Structure 1
Amino acid sequence: MKDNISTLLDYLWHHYESWISAAELSQLLHVSTRQIRKYISILNEEHVEEPLVISTNKGYKLSSTEQYLRYRESGKHNLETPQTRQNLIIQKLISSKNGIDIFDLAQELYVSESTVDNDIRSIRKMISAYQIGIRKEKDVLFIDGSEKEKRQLMSRLITSDSYDNFVLKDEVRLLTYHYHFWDFRKNLSDIFSRNNLFANDYTLNNTALHLIVMIDRIRSSCILHEQVDLTPFFETPQYTVAREIREYIEEAYAIQINDAELYNLTLIIMNNTTMIDYSFINGSNISSFIEQRYIDIAHTVIHNVEECYLLDPFDEEFIAKFTIHVKNLFNRVEHNYYAKNPLTAKIKSTYPLIYDIAVYIAQQFKDMYDIILNEDEIAFISFHIGSYFENNVQSKNKLTVLFLYADYYSLHQNTLEKISRRFEDKVTIKYAMSIHSYQPSLLHADLIISTVETPFPQPSIIIHPFLIEKDMNQLENTITKMLAEKNKNKLKEFLFDLFDPRLFYTNMNMDRTRLIQTLCNDAIRLDYADASFTTDVFAREHMSSTAFEDAAVPHSLASNAKKSFISVVLCPQGMEWGTHEVHIVTLLGVHDDSRKLFAQIFDHLIEILSEPSFLNELVTCQDYDSFIQKLTHYMDAVDV
């Protein structure tokens, strides 16, 4: 995040005289516009009298050169974030055999001893999923745990710290020695190819990462020593490849790989490669390559997704790709191995609905097949769901259009086809007719596009009979603006019907578990939900935290809301929600008759609740009426 903020600031400085839109910055940094607003909020936190970056409906720009130069001179942009500092502390603890003196650590990090103590408390929560502990003897810190657990933790840290979008940076950080990742990765890929093993970019990255961690630990004299039986692997192609990789590593890095390390290496290869080139598999031939069991599982789960979220049917090509994923996933689970996903946090925060559908699928696997997935595996499922939404234009909210023309040898047809192609994901041509057949009282659409200039009783655009670029630009701007307004009005109409003053709370001094229990009990008592609602809300929370940025949105994935509702809890002082601190909690109950609409607006709801400057205002509300007033004012003022 620090690199993104610095890049954003430099970009504004180089375009000092211009207003830069959130969309332009979003494209520059490959993040959502919501994340851009959060970056701006962080930059302005310590500039109360005059913000460092000012914003209007035109976009963003630096407030003054003086402010910018003072900020640069202060060096604040170079400070490590708590997360980066804590990652570094873990890396030092794992690498040290004799422990680390807390005072030396504080001095090296340019922080106080109390800050290090606070970091250690946060680290203990962060590593709670691993069989690893941190102990303190006098003023020296030690990390305890098995070598395997330490390696898993190192892989996790490297994944979060060194991945840049879809690939690892060339020099992998957080290791004792330096490694040229791309050279190492290419050598692995060549060995796989020679032996007819296939791996996609993600699994090849994961394999390379695990092996680099293994090499680094062996070079640091931290070696696996357990007794293993290699005989079940002897006839497998993965074992043959593992031995070839062992020879390459031993020669390149002057180390010895024992049987325990070779056993682990073989498992890594088994879980990240396949003998089948999946690029040739499609909906018509999948049964020749994949067992029927996995095909049936994929069909069952996707059918349940369609029913739950009221989505248009998934095509056979999607299900073929998803079936391949299911087979590989089950294989990883069988070997107690999970792939790392570098984009988990970004997917969760940027595409809440897609991620939520992936969580629903993970819950299906748990309930029907007793398979428990972590957030990385859920994020991989999100890739598949995201491709569905990207390709399925019917799932998008559109404007309806009435196209009017002067009928002359059907010359309008070419114009209509161009508009339909250009805006197929944004408009539906509801009517197309001659201006002489137009009856305003009988025909209604969101927008009229006409080649004939005449007054109309509803929003309209007049274009030339033969489209020019100016027409296309006018259509693009108007359609985009109207679509945003339509989404906003739909969201407002839906949202405000869900609030109830009896389900509005402030300053609830309790932990996450007690809060969810209390909110569910009240909703059930007021006949908003069935008795099973509480259990299902906790089940969803257990699958993956429902914290999105500064907001938590607990909800059930089952159909047990008697009517749709939203409970609201304002937390001005912040509330611990897993590894996040949130300032607003909204418990959602969605009845079946609202499920399709809710699926369309879920992302917009998360975006509103995660907007930093608005949330800072919202959490100061002391009562229900002021909350509704502030929310109404905000939604009237911005596009969603």
Structure 2
Amino acid sequence: MVRFPNQRLANVFDALQAESLPQEELARRFSVSTRTVRADIQALNAILAGHGARFILSRGNGYRLKIDDQQRFASLRETPRHNRTPRSSAERIPALMVRFLSSAYAFKMEDVADEWYVSRGTLQSDMAEVRERLSRYDLTIETKPRHGMKLFGKEAAIRVCLTDLMYSLSLDEHDSYLLASGALPFDILPRLTPSWHQSLVAGGIKLTDEGEHYLALYSAVAVKRIREGYPLPDFPMEEVDERIKTASAQLVRLIEPLTGKGFSAAEENYLRIHIAARRVQDINPSAINADDDETLVDYILNYINTHYNYNLQNDSQLRADLLTHIKTMITRVRYQITIPNPLLANIKQHYPMAYDVTLAAVTSWGKYTPYVISENEIGYLVLHIGVGLERHYNIGYQRHPQVLLVCDSGNSTVRMIQAMLARKYPQIAVTQVISLREYEKLTSLEEDFVISTVRIGEKNKPVMVLAPFPSLYQLEQLGKLVLVDRTRPYMLEKFFAEQHFMIVDRPLTQQALFKQVCGQLKREGVVDKDFYPSVVEREAIVSTLLGDGIALPHSLGLLAKQTVIYTILAPQGIAWGDNETAYVIFLLAINKTDYEEAMAIYELFVTFVRERSMPRLRDSQDFAGFKAVAIDSLSRA
């Protein structure tokens, strides 16, 4: 039997069995350096040497698996690679959750520690995360002297928590302790799934593949709990349409024989709610007329228009898409049914502007309703809002080259040159046309470069001499000036300044940092007294850590009187969110008039994360050094 020394090696092994990957892509996927990737490949090859296989580097394609002895390698694939004892904190936390969710009696941490060959202190440190995760489902752990610890909560919450755990494990292609232990009812699924889809179709219900999969997982959990003597208590009958009733009756016929104890009316009522919560609605606004749905959509779109200056209220397609999603979302939040969102981390990192806009709107609405909308639900709403922004606004804001045209040949020549520029390089913005005499009087230029029909001296910007009928070579030279990326350097120049740059060389809390920086911006007249409380409120909702140690604290809405980005480098790190640390912090104070440029501002920070620029930015000694690293990172993107 082969055991990999750590989970990452097992993950790399699985990834390279599926496809050939270059070391840069492996480094990105597993958040390590290319040097670590090479070390991992060497370690894997040492392990595989006795199993007739090895990873080789193919030029242009990356690492691929080469099997020298098919029979010996086949025996490797047949042996389970997982360890039946959880070895890491990432494995122990869900294993502890399942232990609490499945145990009928209290148990002691000492017994679990002995079973898993870890210290009691190690388990105690894991318990903080276990308690926090269980609390999301209103589940609590109580400790009784001499008896141990036991979970308390509603049966419906226990089932949803177990289902979410199963769902997250099923998304992971790699073997794990819980998959091997038999603690979760994955063995029931093969007896459910063959006729599952047909039963839903027969009932006239359409679900996404993920929705069907989640519903099947919930049903497997329900079977397990009923078998173990934990039926669902009375659950009120909700008004649902006849198709859901038909589909639930079909599914009950599949599930009931597996329980050995029957399927009560309460169980079927709750199953109907799960079907309704994941049902795909027809994208037809006329088919949706629930007051709650309409109210929430109106509130979200109005809030975005009022606080961020993005007017999406007349986008009928966006309104229909939001109504389609929110109709089933209301059912889920009403009954505290969670829906996993495996793309949430990517959505937050790659669409930060749309995420913040949507989060602020939904959070504001939450003050007037008993419903609690989870991050997962917000993530799905972000995708709809993001598409709406792309339809109506220049979400990929670019600063086009600003050009001064110098010409003494008359209007006809000027018009001919302007027409040629519009045809060849439509992104050029000619700010003004002046004569040679007027040019000579200028001391400096604001434009990016000069186009002239005659040879002239340079001032502070490059000069391109262009004939009225330019040659191919001249057009190529002009292209080199035009196609330079000016957007991100322009953003650095416009919104970053040395007076708004600070290196923190002493221990500092997040709260103290906000107070200090917001206080300075208020004294400068950049923001008013409402800005600091809004920054604190936004951070309390969800951490603004973008990733890779980079944080973007900001207010709810565009509240600043002028747009300023305050850069803070913290080599020692500042505690940020739950067990996270920020080393490079950009506090954003954005004015409504810069609402389109705000999108490009966020793109700057996404680029820093993608390019893994944090260590170099963090280690900058002054503003000039920071700016040089930032420009270098952006130029390589």
Q: TM-score, normalised by structure 2?
A: 0.70
Distance apart, 1:321 and its partner CA: 1.5
CA offset at residue 214 of structure 1?
A: 2.0
CA 334–442 in structure 1, closer or farther in 2 if over 3 Å, else same: farther
Taking the aligned partners of 1:591 and 1:210, their CA distance within structure 2 comes to 47
Q: Does 1:382 align with 2:382?
A: yes
Separation in structure 2 between the aligned mates of residue 396 and residue 581 of structure 1, nearest angstrom: 30
1:215 pairs, out of 209, 223, 235, with: 223
For structure 1, which runs of at least 5 residues remain unmatched after alignment? 30-34, 45-50, 54-61, 166-170, 403-415, 421-426, 432-438, 462-477
* Conserved 8 A contact 1:177-1:216: yes
For residues 213 and 101 of structure 2, what CA distance do their matches in structure 1 show? Answer: 22
**Deviation string for 1:371-428 (max 9, x for gaps)?**
54110110110221344466679532458699xxxxxxxxxxxxx9xx99xxxxxx95
How far did residue 288 of structure 1 move? 5.3
Q: Which moved more, 1:295-304 or 1:535-544?
A: 295-304
Give the aligned residue type for 1:330.
I
Is residue 333 from structure 1 mapped to residue 333 from structure 2 by the alignment?
Answer: yes
User: Normalising by the residue count of structure 1, what TM-score does the alignment of the two structures yield?
Assistant: 0.70
Matched, 1:460 2:458: no
- Deviation for aligned residue 1:92: 2.1
Highest CA radius of gyration, 1 or 2?
Answer: 2
Of 510, 529, 545, which residue of structure 2 is paired with 1:531?
A: 529
Partner in structure 2 of residue 547 of structure 1: 545
* 1:95 CA displacement: 1.8
- CA deviations 1:549-583 (Å, max 9, x no partner) are 22332211223212223252626255141353433
2:466 aligned with 1:441:
no
Paired position in structure 1 for 2:411:
none
Which of 184, 190, 200 is 1:192 aligned to? 200
Question: Per the alignment, in what secondary structure is the counterpart of residue 570 of structure 1?
Answer: strand
Q: Deviations over 1:48-102 (max 9, x none)?
A: xxx434xxxxxxxx379757757999xx999955333311221122222334443
**Worse-superposed segment, 64-73 or 354-363:** 64-73
Matched, 1:278 2:277: no
Partners of 2:503 and 2:568 within 8 A in 1: yes
Change (3 A) 1:91 1:543: same
Equivalent residue for 2:322?
A: 322
**Which structure carries more relative contact order (alpha carbon 8 Å, separation 6+)?**
1
| 2:636 aligned residue | 639
SS at match of 2:342: coil
Query: How far apart, CA to CA, are the structure 2 residues paired with 1:379 and 1:398?
Result: 26
Q: Is the 8 A contact 1:135 1:143 kept in 2?
A: yes
Q: 1:220 and 1:310 mapped to 2: Cα distance? A: 55
Q: How many angstroms does 1:336 deviate by?
A: 4.1
2:357 counterpart residue number: 357
State yes or no: 1:265 paired with 2:271. yes
8 A contact 1:52–1:68 mirrored in 2: no
1:629 aligns with 2:625: yes
1:124-145 alpha-carbon deviations (Å, 9 max, x no partner):
2333333223355569543333
Q: How does 1:75-94 map to 2 (within 5 A)?
A: 81-94=88-101
Residue number in structure 2 paired with 1:251: 257
1:177 to 185, 209, 234: 185
Aligned counterpart, 2:297:
298
- Taking the aligned partners of 2:317 and 2:264, their CA distance within structure 1 comes to 44
| Pair 601,7 (structure 1): closer, same or farther in 2 beyond 3 Å | farther
Q: Taking every aligned residue pair, what percent have the same amino acid on both sides?
A: 18
In the aligned structure 1, how far is the partner of 2:629 from the partner of 2:14? 30
Superposition pairs of residues 118-157 of structure 1, within 5 angstroms: 118-135=125-142, 137=145, 140-157=148-165
Kept after mapping to 1: 8 A contact 2:277/2:332: yes
Counterpart residue number, 1:52: 36
Specify whether residues 559 and 488 from structure 1 end up closer, same or farther in structure 2 by C-alpha distance, changes over 3 A only.
closer
Q: Give the Cα separation in 2 of the matches to 1:236 and 1:527.
A: 61
Q: Residues 406-454 of structure 1, C-alpha deviation per residue, up to 9 Å, x if partnerless?
A: xxxxxxxxxx9xx99xxxxxx95669xxxxxxx9438999999x99522
Match of 1:47 in 2: none
What whole-Å deviation, never above 9, does each CA across 1:142-166 have from its counterpart, x for those lacking one? 333332332232233233332269x
Amino acid at match of 1:87: P
Return 303-312 or 378-387, whichever deviates more: 303-312
Structure 2 counterpart of 1:465: none
Aligned-residue offset at 1:618: 4.2
The number of residues matched between the two structures is: 543
Query: Residues 194 and 13 of structure 1: is their aligned pair in 2 closer, same or farther, counting only changes over 3 Å?
Result: closer
SS at match of 2:586: strand
